[in-house]
């Protein structure tokens, strides 16, 4: 089996969420952050023939990068990466010591839905880095709906905002930690529940994320 560039990109993204990964038999990858506040899922083109537990995903990816286009062969206790006369024997980890989601999250009915395009999302994340803003807030008030990068604990800190077209009722302030928005590049359909959970679905690839909101988030009709 050969891994596509898209699947490798997914694995690189998942490594930013958790260095552990259990790849289940089949065509679906899932990961969860160590704090259990981020879950990510991707459907891929490859069909894994067996469960593979990887303790250090970055090491696994670095091993793959030693080859141009390696073939993966799966054995009972290890897999091999083969290309020409070169080969790596890579042993699986014990699944009991590798963190992974135990079941699929059920998203509550969302009160808020919107789409954010790739450019606006990229600018927002870049701006948050420039002004050292640890928080991102989606706020609806009497003058509109805005997505703002800010420091929620410092009213005099610099902010960066953009208008958002939202399908919703009520007023709200939904708080995210910027560090939790570990999303692959692209545009996203976003749904947010007042139960402090959000769902981000990539519009161009089969990747989605469930990200917890911060407890200071508020919603009222």
pLDDT digits (tens, 9 = 90+) for 42-101: 999 999 999 999 999 999 999 999 999 999 999 999 999 999 999 999 999 999 999 988
Q: What's the alpha-carbon Rg for the chain, to the nearest Å?
A: 20
The pTM score is 0.94
Domain boundaries defined on the chain: 5-97, 112-220
Q: Residue 40 CA to chain centroid, in angstroms?
A: 5
Q: What are phi and psi of 33, to 5 degrees?
A: -70, 160
Q: Label the pairing between strands 218-220 and 171-177.
A: antiparallel
pLDDT of residue 130: 97
3: tokens are: 């891994």
pLDDT in tens, 144-191: 899 999 999 999 999 999 999 988 888 999 999 999 999 999 999 999
pLDDT digits (tens, 9 = 90+) for 123-149: 999 999 999 999 999 999 877 899 999
CATH number of 112-220: 3.70.10.10
CATH assignment, 5-97: 3.70.10.10
Q: Which helix (H) or strand (E) holds 137?
A: strand 135-141
Instruction: Give backbone dihedrals phi and psi of 173, rounded to 5 degrees, phi first.
Output: -135, 110
Query: Is 112-220 the same fold as 5-97?
Result: yes
């Amino acid at each position: 089996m050969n891994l596509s560039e898209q699947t490798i990109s997914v694995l690189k993204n998942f490594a930013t969420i958790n260095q552990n990964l259990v790849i289940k038999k089949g065509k679906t990858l899932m990961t969860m952050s160590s704090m259990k506040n981020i879950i990510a899922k991707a459907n891929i083109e490859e069909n894994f023939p067996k469960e593979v537990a990887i303790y250090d995903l970055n090491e696994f990816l670095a091993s793959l990068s030693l080859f141009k286009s390696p073939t993966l062969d799966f054995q009972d206790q290890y897999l091999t990466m083969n290309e020409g006369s070169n080969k790596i024997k890579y042993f699986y980890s014990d699944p009991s010591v590798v963190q992974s989601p135990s079941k699929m999250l059920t998203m509550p009915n969302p009160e808020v839905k919107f789409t954010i395009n790739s450019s606006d999302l990229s600018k927002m994340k870049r701006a948050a880095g420039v002004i050292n803003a640890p928080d991102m807030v989606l706020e609806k008030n009497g003058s509109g709906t805005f997505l703002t990068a800010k420091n929620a604990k410092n009213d005099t800190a610099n902010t960066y905002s953009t208008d958002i077209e939202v399908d919703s009722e009520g007023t709200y302030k939904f708080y995210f930690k910027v560090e939790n928005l570990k999303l692959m590049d692209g545009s996203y359909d976003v749904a947010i529940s007042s139960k402090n959970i959000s769902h981000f679905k990539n519009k161009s690839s089969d990747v989605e994320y469930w990200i917890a909101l911060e407890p200071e988030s508020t919603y009222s009709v």
